[in-house]
Amino acid sequence: MNFLRVILILCFAFLAFPEKPASGGKIYKWVDERGVVHFSDQEPGTDEAKGTIEEKEFRDPSSVEPTKDTVIRETSRNPIEYVTNCTFTIKGPKRTGSGFLISSGGYALTCKHVVEDVSNLVALMNDQQEAQLNVLFMSSKYDLALVQVMMPRKMPYLTIRDAQGLAPGDRLFAVGASAGLHSTVTDGVFTGFRTIDTAKGNFIQFSAPLNPGNSGGPLVDENGMVVGVVSLKFLSQQGTPVSGVGFAVPSAQIKEEYGTYIEK
Protein backbone atom coordinates (compact mmCIF):
# COMPACT_ATOMS: atom_id res chain seq x y z
CA MET A 1 0.00 0.00 0.00
CA ASN A 2 1.62 3.22 -1.13
CA PHE A 3 1.60 6.49 0.82
CA LEU A 4 -1.14 8.11 -1.34
CA ARG A 5 -3.55 5.23 -0.67
CA VAL A 6 -2.93 5.53 3.09
CA ILE A 7 -3.81 9.24 2.98
CA LEU A 8 -6.99 8.56 0.98
CA ILE A 9 -8.11 5.83 3.42
CA LEU A 10 -7.53 8.11 6.42
CA CYS A 11 -9.52 10.91 4.76
CA PHE A 12 -12.39 8.55 4.04
CA ALA A 13 -12.38 7.31 7.65
CA PHE A 14 -12.55 10.88 8.93
CA LEU A 15 -15.54 11.67 6.70
CA ALA A 16 -17.34 8.42 7.48
CA PHE A 17 -16.89 8.77 11.24
CA PRO A 18 -17.06 12.48 12.07
CA GLU A 19 -16.33 13.82 15.50
CA LYS A 20 -19.25 13.48 17.94
CA PRO A 21 -21.05 16.83 18.31
CA ALA A 22 -20.78 18.78 21.52
CA SER A 23 -23.34 17.97 24.19
CA GLY A 24 -24.37 21.58 24.71
CA GLY A 25 -24.01 25.12 23.55
CA LYS A 26 -25.81 28.42 23.35
CA ILE A 27 -29.09 29.59 21.83
CA TYR A 28 -29.51 33.15 20.58
CA LYS A 29 -32.88 34.87 20.24
CA TRP A 30 -33.41 38.22 18.56
CA VAL A 31 -35.92 40.29 16.59
CA ASP A 32 -35.06 41.69 13.16
CA GLU A 33 -36.14 45.05 11.70
CA ARG A 34 -39.40 43.48 10.41
CA GLY A 35 -40.35 42.29 13.88
CA VAL A 36 -39.68 38.60 13.07
CA VAL A 37 -38.37 36.51 16.00
CA HIS A 38 -35.27 34.40 15.23
CA PHE A 39 -33.59 31.52 17.09
CA SER A 40 -30.11 30.26 16.19
CA ASP A 41 -27.00 28.60 17.62
CA GLN A 42 -24.97 31.27 15.78
CA GLU A 43 -24.68 34.76 17.24
CA PRO A 44 -26.27 37.32 14.86
CA GLY A 45 -24.41 40.27 13.47
CA THR A 46 -25.19 43.76 14.69
CA ASP A 47 -26.97 44.53 11.38
CA GLU A 48 -29.33 41.54 11.79
CA ALA A 49 -30.75 42.21 15.23
CA LYS A 50 -32.92 45.04 16.43
CA GLY A 51 -32.72 45.53 20.18
CA THR A 52 -31.43 43.05 22.74
CA ILE A 53 -29.96 39.66 21.80
CA GLU A 54 -30.94 36.99 24.36
CA GLU A 55 -28.34 34.30 25.03
CA LYS A 56 -28.97 31.02 26.88
CA GLU A 57 -26.98 27.87 27.65
CA PHE A 58 -28.62 24.58 26.63
CA ARG A 59 -27.95 20.86 26.44
CA ASP A 60 -28.04 19.25 23.00
CA PRO A 61 -31.03 16.85 23.06
CA SER A 62 -29.19 14.44 20.73
CA SER A 63 -26.63 13.80 23.47
CA VAL A 64 -29.06 12.21 25.95
CA GLU A 65 -29.22 8.47 26.38
CA PRO A 66 -32.03 6.45 24.77
CA THR A 67 -35.01 6.02 27.06
CA LYS A 68 -36.21 2.80 28.66
CA ASP A 69 -39.70 4.27 28.45
CA THR A 70 -40.25 3.96 24.70
CA VAL A 71 -43.41 1.94 25.38
CA ILE A 72 -45.08 4.63 27.53
CA ARG A 73 -47.49 5.62 24.76
CA GLU A 74 -48.30 2.02 23.91
CA THR A 75 -48.85 1.00 27.55
CA SER A 76 -50.94 4.04 28.48
CA ARG A 77 -54.54 2.92 28.96
CA ASN A 78 -55.95 6.11 27.43
CA PRO A 79 -54.62 9.36 25.89
CA ILE A 80 -55.01 11.33 29.13
CA GLU A 81 -52.85 8.86 31.06
CA TYR A 82 -50.16 9.46 28.46
CA VAL A 83 -50.54 13.21 29.06
CA THR A 84 -49.83 12.71 32.77
CA ASN A 85 -46.56 10.96 31.85
CA CYS A 86 -45.50 14.04 29.86
CA THR A 87 -46.49 16.54 32.58
CA PHE A 88 -44.40 17.51 35.61
CA THR A 89 -44.68 19.59 38.77
CA ILE A 90 -42.42 22.64 39.05
CA LYS A 91 -41.09 23.11 42.56
CA GLY A 92 -39.43 26.34 43.65
CA PRO A 93 -38.98 28.41 46.79
CA LYS A 94 -42.54 29.20 47.98
CA ARG A 95 -43.98 28.47 44.52
CA THR A 96 -45.53 25.46 42.76
CA GLY A 97 -46.65 25.14 39.16
CA SER A 98 -46.77 22.73 36.26
CA GLY A 99 -45.10 22.17 32.90
CA PHE A 100 -45.18 19.68 30.03
CA LEU A 101 -42.70 18.19 27.59
CA ILE A 102 -42.71 19.15 23.90
CA SER A 103 -39.61 17.19 22.81
CA SER A 104 -37.75 13.98 23.67
CA GLY A 105 -34.72 16.11 24.55
CA GLY A 106 -36.42 17.72 27.52
CA TYR A 107 -37.69 21.00 26.05
CA ALA A 108 -40.90 21.93 27.83
CA LEU A 109 -43.44 24.70 28.28
CA THR A 110 -44.90 26.43 31.31
CA CYS A 111 -46.26 29.86 32.23
CA LYS A 112 -43.98 32.84 32.54
CA HIS A 113 -45.46 33.76 35.92
CA VAL A 114 -44.54 30.31 37.30
CA VAL A 115 -40.77 30.65 36.70
CA GLU A 116 -40.22 34.42 36.63
CA ASP A 117 -37.80 35.68 39.31
CA VAL A 118 -37.40 32.18 40.78
CA SER A 119 -34.13 30.25 41.07
CA ASN A 120 -33.22 26.63 41.88
CA LEU A 121 -36.24 25.14 40.13
CA VAL A 122 -36.85 21.39 40.20
CA ALA A 123 -39.09 19.29 37.94
CA LEU A 124 -40.91 16.41 39.66
CA MET A 125 -41.77 13.90 36.96
CA ASN A 126 -44.77 11.56 36.95
CA ASP A 127 -42.53 8.62 37.99
CA GLN A 128 -41.48 10.66 41.07
CA GLN A 129 -37.97 11.32 39.73
CA GLU A 130 -36.66 14.84 40.24
CA ALA A 131 -34.53 16.78 37.76
CA GLN A 132 -32.96 20.23 37.47
CA LEU A 133 -35.13 22.64 35.48
CA ASN A 134 -33.42 25.33 33.40
CA VAL A 135 -35.34 28.38 32.20
CA LEU A 136 -34.31 29.13 28.59
CA PHE A 137 -36.64 31.94 27.49
CA MET A 138 -39.59 33.89 28.85
CA SER A 139 -41.98 35.46 26.34
CA SER A 140 -42.27 39.25 26.28
CA LYS A 141 -45.75 38.99 24.72
CA TYR A 142 -47.53 36.06 26.38
CA ASP A 143 -47.66 34.19 29.68
CA LEU A 144 -45.30 31.55 28.32
CA ALA A 145 -41.80 30.28 29.08
CA LEU A 146 -39.55 27.69 27.46
CA VAL A 147 -37.69 25.46 29.92
CA GLN A 148 -35.57 22.32 29.74
CA VAL A 149 -35.79 19.29 32.03
CA MET A 150 -32.24 18.02 32.59
CA MET A 151 -32.77 14.25 32.48
CA PRO A 152 -30.08 11.88 31.08
CA ARG A 153 -32.56 10.07 28.83
CA LYS A 154 -35.06 10.76 26.09
CA MET A 155 -38.57 11.42 27.32
CA PRO A 156 -42.15 11.16 26.08
CA TYR A 157 -43.67 14.41 24.83
CA LEU A 158 -47.01 15.89 23.78
CA THR A 159 -48.30 16.87 20.35
CA ILE A 160 -49.69 20.37 19.83
CA ARG A 161 -52.75 20.97 17.63
CA ASP A 162 -54.54 24.04 16.28
CA ALA A 163 -56.98 25.30 18.91
CA GLN A 164 -58.98 27.22 16.30
CA GLY A 165 -60.72 23.97 15.38
CA LEU A 166 -62.42 23.76 18.80
CA ALA A 167 -66.20 24.14 18.99
CA PRO A 168 -68.23 25.16 22.07
CA GLY A 169 -68.96 22.05 24.12
CA ASP A 170 -65.84 20.12 23.06
CA ARG A 171 -64.44 18.24 26.06
CA LEU A 172 -61.09 19.45 27.45
CA PHE A 173 -58.79 18.25 30.24
CA ALA A 174 -56.44 20.29 32.44
CA VAL A 175 -53.48 18.33 33.86
CA GLY A 176 -51.18 19.69 36.55
CA ALA A 177 -50.32 20.05 40.23
CA SER A 178 -53.79 21.25 41.24
CA ALA A 179 -53.69 22.38 44.90
CA GLY A 180 -50.18 20.91 45.01
CA LEU A 181 -51.43 17.41 44.16
CA HIS A 182 -49.14 15.93 41.49
CA SER A 183 -50.64 14.94 38.09
CA THR A 184 -54.21 15.90 38.92
CA VAL A 185 -56.68 15.66 36.00
CA THR A 186 -59.80 17.83 35.82
CA ASP A 187 -62.21 18.06 32.91
CA GLY A 188 -64.66 20.54 31.43
CA VAL A 189 -65.65 21.95 28.06
CA PHE A 190 -64.50 24.62 25.64
CA THR A 191 -66.50 27.84 25.79
CA GLY A 192 -64.76 30.15 23.33
CA PHE A 193 -61.92 32.61 22.85
CA ARG A 194 -61.81 35.66 25.11
CA THR A 195 -59.75 38.83 25.10
CA ILE A 196 -58.78 39.82 28.65
CA ASP A 197 -57.54 43.38 28.82
CA THR A 198 -55.92 43.03 32.24
CA ALA A 199 -53.97 39.97 31.06
CA LYS A 200 -53.10 41.56 27.70
CA GLY A 201 -54.02 38.73 25.39
CA ASN A 202 -56.43 36.35 23.73
CA PHE A 203 -57.23 33.21 25.72
CA ILE A 204 -59.13 29.93 25.51
CA GLN A 205 -62.00 29.90 28.02
CA PHE A 206 -62.88 26.49 29.47
CA SER A 207 -64.78 25.08 32.44
CA ALA A 208 -62.39 22.51 34.00
CA PRO A 209 -61.83 23.29 37.72
CA LEU A 210 -58.46 24.91 38.49
CA ASN A 211 -56.48 25.45 41.70
CA PRO A 212 -53.10 26.94 42.60
CA GLY A 213 -50.44 24.73 40.99
CA ASN A 214 -52.34 24.21 37.71
CA SER A 215 -50.61 27.15 36.01
CA GLY A 216 -48.29 26.03 33.21
CA GLY A 217 -49.91 22.64 32.74
CA PRO A 218 -51.35 21.45 29.43
CA LEU A 219 -54.95 21.88 28.33
CA VAL A 220 -55.66 18.92 26.05
CA ASP A 221 -58.48 17.48 23.98
CA GLU A 222 -59.87 13.93 24.27
CA ASN A 223 -57.02 12.63 22.10
CA GLY A 224 -54.41 14.07 24.46
CA MET A 225 -53.34 16.80 22.04
CA VAL A 226 -52.40 20.19 23.48
CA VAL A 227 -54.64 23.13 22.64
CA GLY A 228 -53.23 25.54 25.21
CA VAL A 229 -51.25 26.25 28.39
CA VAL A 230 -53.33 26.76 31.55
CA SER A 231 -52.70 30.34 32.68
CA LEU A 232 -55.37 31.83 34.98
CA LYS A 233 -58.93 31.67 36.28
CA PHE A 234 -61.56 34.04 37.59
CA LEU A 235 -61.91 33.87 41.38
CA SER A 236 -64.70 36.37 41.93
CA GLN A 237 -66.64 39.16 40.32
CA GLN A 238 -67.80 42.14 42.36
CA GLY A 239 -67.31 40.11 45.53
CA THR A 240 -69.23 37.06 44.28
CA PRO A 241 -67.19 33.80 44.02
CA VAL A 242 -66.82 32.46 40.46
CA SER A 243 -66.05 28.83 39.54
CA GLY A 244 -65.54 26.96 36.30
CA VAL A 245 -64.09 29.91 34.39
CA GLY A 246 -60.50 29.12 33.42
CA PHE A 247 -58.24 30.46 30.71
CA ALA A 248 -55.34 29.06 28.70
CA VAL A 249 -52.80 30.54 26.28
CA PRO A 250 -53.80 29.18 22.83
CA SER A 251 -51.56 26.84 20.84
CA ALA A 252 -51.10 29.43 18.07
CA GLN A 253 -49.17 31.62 20.52
CA ILE A 254 -47.08 28.63 21.61
CA LYS A 255 -46.04 28.00 18.00
CA GLU A 256 -45.43 31.68 17.38
CA GLU A 257 -42.98 31.93 20.27
CA TYR A 258 -41.38 28.48 20.49
CA GLY A 259 -42.35 26.53 17.38
CA THR A 260 -38.67 25.82 16.66
CA TYR A 261 -38.45 23.59 19.73
CA ILE A 262 -41.61 21.53 19.19
CA GLU A 263 -40.77 17.97 18.15
CA LYS A 264 -43.11 16.54 15.51
Q: Catalytic amino acids?
A: 113, 143, 215
Using only the alpha carbons of the chain, give its radius of gyration.
Answer: 21
- Per the CB < 8 A criterion, the answer to whether 231 and 174 are in contact is no
Task: Report the distance separating Cα 244 and Cα 22, nearest Å.
Answer: 48
Task: Report the distance separating Cα 245 and Cα 173, nearest Å.
Answer: 13
List 123's β-bridge partners, or say none. 90, 131
SS3 192: strand
Strands 107-110 and 95-101 turn out to be: antiparallel
Question: Backbone phi, then psi, for 256, in 5-degree steps?
Answer: -60, -40
Q: In 3D, which of 245, 185, 252, 259 has the Cα closest to residue 219?
A: 185
